[in-house]
Amino acid sequence: MTLAGKRVLLVVSGGIAAYKALELIRLLRAAGCGVTCVLSRSAAQFVTKLSLQALSESRTYDDLFSLTDESEMGHIQLSRAADLLVVAPASADLLARMAAGMADDLASTVLLATDKPVLVAPAMNVRMWQHEATVANMALLAARGVRVVGPEEGPMACNEFGPGRLAEPPAILAAIAALLVPAAGPLAGRHALVTSGPTHEPIDPVRYIANRSSGRQGHAIAAALAALGARVSLVSGPVGVPDPPGVTVIRVETAQQMLAASLAALPADIAVCAAAVADWRVASAAGRKIKKTPGAPPPALELVANPDILATLSAPGPTRPRLVVGFAAETDALAENAAAKRARKGCDWIVANDVSPATGIMGGEENSVHLITATGAEDWPRLPKSDVARRLAARIAAALA
C-alpha cells in the first residue's frame, strides 16, 4: 500500500496505549506518508516527544502558547496542513473535550480548528468505554462525521476484559488508507447506512433481553458496500465480530439508541437494515438489580413496542434514502410474510431468510435468502454470508447506477 504524498497529523493523547502510536508512525512512514505529531496535555506522561520526533522525522508539537510557533498562527496551520487528522490513542478525556467543542490544549484546539476529516482510535478501560457519557460523546462525534476505528475487545492493562483496547496499528493504518485513498468503484461518492447485530433491551442493570443475531451478515454487507467504494456508516448492536475495515462503526445497545444513531447518520443514498432489532423492550427497566426473594413469585415483565427503524427510514420524506433494504427473519411462510413485510414497512427490497433452528442461519456462517423486490422474488442458493453480502452489494450498485 502506498500513501506517498499524503500527510497525517497524528494526535497522541494520554492513555496507556500511547506507546502503540510509535508503531503506527513507523507503518505510516513505511507507506510513504508524512507524519506530524501533536501531544495532548497528558500524553507526555506516557510517551516521549523525542521518540515521536525521531520516528516521524518531523517536529512534534505540544504547546498551544508557544511564542515561536504562534508568531505564524501555528495551531491553525497545523490543523489545516494535513490531509487527515488521526487521534490514536484517543482517551476518554480528549473525546469528551472534542464532543464539547473545547479548545484547552493544542490537541483539542487543532481538532476544533481543522477543516479536514478526523479519525479517532479510542482506547480506555472497558467501564470508561461503556459509560453513558462516553457512549453519548461517541454518538455525537459520529453524527458530526468523525470516523472511528476500534476499539477492540480483549484483555486490558488494568486486568479487566472487554471492549476498549486500541485497534492494532495495522488496522488503524488500513482505516487511514481507506480515508486517504478512497476505493474506486461503482458506489464511490455514495453514503450507505447499515444496521447490524442484535439489540440488548435492559431488564435491570445486569440482565437484558437479546436474540441470537451475530452481526455477521450485516457486517459483511457493510464491508461489501465499502469494497465497492461507498462511504459506510455501520450502526451495530453488541457483537463479537470485528469491525469491517474502512467503515465507520457506531456502537449502540438498545433499539431506541439504534434508531437515534441511524437518523443521525442520514442523509444516505442506501439503507440496509440487517439488525435483528428487538420488537419489544421492558416498559420500565429497574435501576437496581431485581433481587430473588425466597418464596416470592418471579417478577412480571411488562413489555412495550420498540420503534420500527425500517419503517421510519422507509417513510417518504426529504431524508429517505433512495434505496431502503430490510431483512425479514421468518420461520414460517417465508415468501408471503416477507412480501407482506415489504408492503407494510414501505421499503424497496426485503432480504428474507428462514431462521428456523434447523437451518443454523441465526449466528451461523451461511445464509440462504430470497430477494423480494417490487417486481417479484428471487431465490438465491445457500451461500457464505460474505458471498450473500457481495451479491447484494452488486445488486444495490446496479440499482443505483
Binding mask 119-148 for ligand FMN (x = CB under 6 A): ----xx---x--------------------
User: Near ligand FMN by CB under 6 A, which window of 8-16, 170-178, 314-322, 334-342?
Assistant: 8-16
Q: Is 167 in the site for ligand FMN (CB under 6 A)?
A: no
DSSP string, 231-279: EEEEEE-S-SSPPPTT-EEEE--SHHHHHHHHHHH---SEEEE--B--S
Is residue 225 within the footprint of ligand FMN (CB under 6 A)?
no
Annotated catalytic residue within 33, 37, 158, 347: 158
- Asked whether position 191 contacts ligand FMN by CB under 6 A, the answer is no
CA terminus-to-terminus distance, the chain: 29
Cα diameter, the chain: 76
Q: Does 87 bind ligand FMN (CB under 6 A)?
A: no
Considering the rule CB under 6 A, would residue 326 count as an interface residue with ligand FMN? no
Dihedral angle sign, alpha carbons of residues 125, 241, 266, 176: positive
Under the criterion CB under 6 A, does residue 20 sit at the interface with ligand FMN?
Answer: no
| Nine-digit cell string for 64 | 498551544
Using CB under 6 A as the binding rule, whether residue 40 contacts ligand FMN is answered as yes
Q: Which residue number, 151 or 244, has a Cβ lying nearer to ligand FMN?
A: 151
If binding is defined by CB under 6 A, does position 109 make contact with ligand FMN?
A: no
Q: Which of the stretches 29-37, 41-49, 224-232, 335-343 binds ligand FMN when contact is defined by CB under 6 A? A: 41-49
Q: How far is the CB of 126 from ligand FMN (least distance, A)?
A: 11
DSSP symbol at 305: E
Stretch that binds ligand FMN, among 25-33, 90-98, 186-194, 245-253 (CB under 6 A): 90-98
Residue selected from 13, 137, 233, 306 as contacting ligand FMN according to rule CB under 6 A: 13
Active site residue 158: yes
Residue 251 to residues 20, 34, 241, 256, 315, Cα–Cα distance (Å): 23, 31, 13, 12, 24
DSSP letters along 329-356, please?
EESSSHHHHHHHHHHHHT-SEEEEEE--
| Cβ at position 237, least distance to ligand FMN in Å | 24
Surface-to-core class of residue 292, CB atoms within 10 Å of its CB (0-12 exposed, 13-18 middle, 19+ buried): exposed
Q: Which ranges of 181-240 would DSSP assign to H, the alpha helix?
A: 216-227
Q: Which is nearer to ligand FMN, 102 or 264 (CB)?
A: 102
Looking at the Cβ atoms of 17 and 268, the one nearer to ligand FMN is 17
Residue pair 90/123 in contact by the 8 Å Cβ criterion: yes
The x, y and z cell numbers of residue 260, run together, are: 437515534
Residue 177: how many CB atoms within 10 A of its CB? Answer: 20
Q: Which of 41, 216, 370, 385 binds ligand FMN (CB under 6 A)?
A: 41
Instruction: State how far the alpha carbon of 56 is from the alpha carbons of 21, 65, 67, 79, 105, in Å.
Output: 11, 23, 23, 17, 21
Q: Select from 15-23, 272-280, 329-337, 362-370 the region that touches ligand FMN (CB under 6 A).
A: 15-23
Residues in region 42-81 near ligand FMN by CB under 6 A: 42-43
The residue type of 379 is: D
| 17 interacts with ligand FMN by CB under 6 A | yes
Query: Could you say whether residue 94 binds ligand FMN (CB under 6 A)?
Result: yes
- The residues annotated as belonging to the active site are 158
Binding site for ligand FMN (CB under 6 A): 13-17, 40-43, 91-94, 123-124, 128
